[in-house]
Amino acid sequence: MDEDMDPRIGNRSLSRVVYRADQIQTRVGELAAEIHQGLPEEDPLLLVGLLKGSFIFLADLVRSIPRPLEVDFLRVASYGTGRESSGTVELVHDVEASLNGRSVVIVEDIIDSGTTLQWLLPRLRARGPKRLEVCALLHKDRVTLDPPARWVGFHAPNEFLVGYGLDHAEAFRHLPYIGALES
Query: How many domains does the chain divide into?
Result: 1
For 82-130, write each residue's pLDDT tens digit: 555 556 888 899 999 999 999 999 999 999 888 889 999 999 999 999 9
Instruction: Provide DSSP, 23-70.
Output: HHHHHHHHHHHHHHHHS-TTS-EEEEEEETTTHHHHHHHHHH--S--E
> What pLDDT, on a 0 to 100 scale, did the predictor assign at position 142?
77
pLDDT at 163 over 70: yes
The answer to the question of residue 132 being in a domain is: yes
Centre a 10 Å sphere on the Cβ of residue 135 and count the other Cβ atoms it contains.
23
Average pLDDT over residues 10-14: 78
Nearest to 54 by CA among 85, 25, 75: 75
Residue 73, CA distances (Å) to 27, 64, 175 in order: 22, 18, 22
The answer to the question of residue 69 being in a domain is: yes
> What pLDDT, on a 0 to 100 scale, did the predictor assign at position 77?
84
For 139-162, write each residue's pLDDT tens digit: 997 777 777 899 999 999 999 999
Is 4 among the residues known to form the active site? no
Which range of residues forms the domain containing residue 167? 8-181
> What pLDDT, on a 0 to 100 scale, did the predictor assign at position 115?
86
- Indicate the pTM of the whole model: 0.89
Among residues of the chain, what percentage have pLDDT more than 90? 75
pLDDT higher for 80 or 51?
Answer: 51
The answer to the question of residue 177 being in a domain is: yes
> What pLDDT, on a 0 to 100 scale, did the predictor assign at position 136?
97
The answer to the question of residue 3 being in a domain is: no
At 169, which CATH number? 3.40.50.2020
pLDDT higher for 46 or 116?
Answer: 46
> What pLDDT, on a 0 to 100 scale, did the predictor assign at position 84?
57
The answer to the question of residue 142 being in a domain is: yes
Kindly state the DSSP code that residue 148 receives in the 8-state scheme.
Answer: P
The answer to the question of residue 92 being in a domain is: yes
Average pLDDT over residues 73-80: 81
Identified catalytic residue from 6, 22, 43, 112: 112
> What pLDDT, on a 0 to 100 scale, did the predictor assign at position 143?
74
pLDDT at 134 over 80: yes
Q: What is the mean pLDDT of the chain?
A: 90
